[in-house]
Chains A and B, each alone.
Chain A
């Protein structure tokens, strides 16, 4: 079983839709949770960062962490064609040096 599971998609939505992206994990020691956005043939860029449980909002993006269920989510409101990319969840334990990545979910937002 992988430490981090992420549905690869692809996920196709119309412009303006609310998008929900999710990851599950097995290691209860993970405390840092990240979402990276990767455009085709580019390097990932850090989109959202959360420590421990709770929600974090930044513009149209909201990250949620539910440690009791070992489940994290990224919501994108009013999705735009420019949001079309692969979204990678990532996590790390406190004091750890290694970041564990999900496989990434490909998102297409149709105009």
Chain B
């Protein structure tokens, strides 16, 4: 089945630690995205990538970093500079960045110990 796989489902971060969230897709989509979801708020865009080796900051990129070395993979690192990292993180993809139909993974819940 084609889809987006996010791992782990739950992740805990200690003070001062960097953690990496995995996102893999087998939909052959060019564009990939990372969103953050907080209770009572809409999804906010962290980073997006149109093609391999290219990515752009979204609305709340501070404290996060990404890479896009393969078409299928778009990992997100939450760095120690992100002071309020507790949230539900969603990875998404679309056929192209101009395509408005997004396909989402199942999400990763990140919590601070």
Q: Name A residues whose Cβ lies closer than 8 Å to a Cβ of B.
A: 2, 4, 6, 8, 32, 34, 36, 41-46, 49, 88, 90, 92, 95-104
Contact = CB atoms under 8 A, between A and B. Distances in A.
B107 A41 contact: yes
Contacts, number: 55
Interface residues of B, number: 24
Nearest to B50: A97
Contact of A44 (B41, B48, B98, B104): B104
B45 A98 contact: yes
Contacts of A34: 100-101
Given A95-B98, A97-B50, 15 more contacts: A41-B107, A41-B109, A42-B106, A43-B6, A43-B106, A43-B107, A44-B43, A44-B104, A46-B101, A49-B101, A88-B42, A88-B43, A92-B100, A97-B48, A102-B42
Given A88-B43, A104-B42, A42 B101 contact: no
B105 A43 contact: yes
Interface of B: 4, 6, 40-43, 45, 48, 50, 58, 88, 90, 92, 97-98, 100-107, 109
Contacts of A96: 98
A49 B107 CA distance: 22
B107 A97 contact: no
Nearest to A92: B100
A31 to B, nearest CB: 9
Nearest to B10: A41
Contact of B43 (A32, A41, A101): A101
- What 3 A-B pairs come out closest when comparing CB atoms? A43-B104, A101-B42, A101-B43
Contacts of A99: 45, 100, 102
Most buried by A among B6, B43, B50, B58: B43
A4 B98 CA distance: 20
Nearest to A43: B104
A30 to B, nearest CB: 10
Nearest to A31: B100
